[in-house]
Amino acid sequence: MFGKGSRLYSIFKMRCPKCQEGDFMVSHAYDLSKVGEIHEHCNVCGLKYSKEPGFYYGAMYVAYALGVALFVTLWVSFNLFFDHVSIGWQIGIIIFATILLAPYLYALSKIIWANMFIKYDKDAIKREQA
């Protein structure tokens, strides 16, 4: 399920969706000078990451869904396990967690979006070397 060849492998390792070996992001998510920047091509299989101009605008919907999932998870967790915490503290912690995780969620949304449209090809590296 998490092994090479699965979409989850590419997403969590932030690797090329096609060959799953090349780096997808220019830098890690918390390098704020390069946050969200992706390579133009895969350095292993040569895949062009951006299929067309504006391709990653759709990743905004994925980022929104990830933000909602984070909010719901924290809100439900507070109300089930920490019911003594006041609403003000809950909102403050949720805002803090959202700001803290925003760069990672932004990068994650781009790799998820790319994996929705680019499929794994186990022979991608062999074709590039030939």
b or e along 78-109 (b: 16 or more beta carbons within 10 Å of the residue's beta carbon)? Answer: beeeeeeeeeeebeeebeeeeeeebbebbbbb
Q: Where are the domains of the chain?
A: 7-129
Q: What is the mean pLDDT of residues 62-86?
A: 93
For 73-82, write each residue's pLDDT tens digit. Answer: 999 999 999 8
Enumerate residues 6+ apart whose C-beta is below 8 A from 93: 74, 78, 85
Q: Residue 118 carries which DSSP code?
A: -
Q: Give the C-alpha distances (Å, rounded to integers) separating 24 from 53, 66, 86, 91, 104.
A: 17, 19, 41, 34, 14
Report the predicted TM-score, pTM, of the whole model to 2 decimal places.
0.86
pLDDT tens digits for range 98-113: 999 999 999 999 999 9
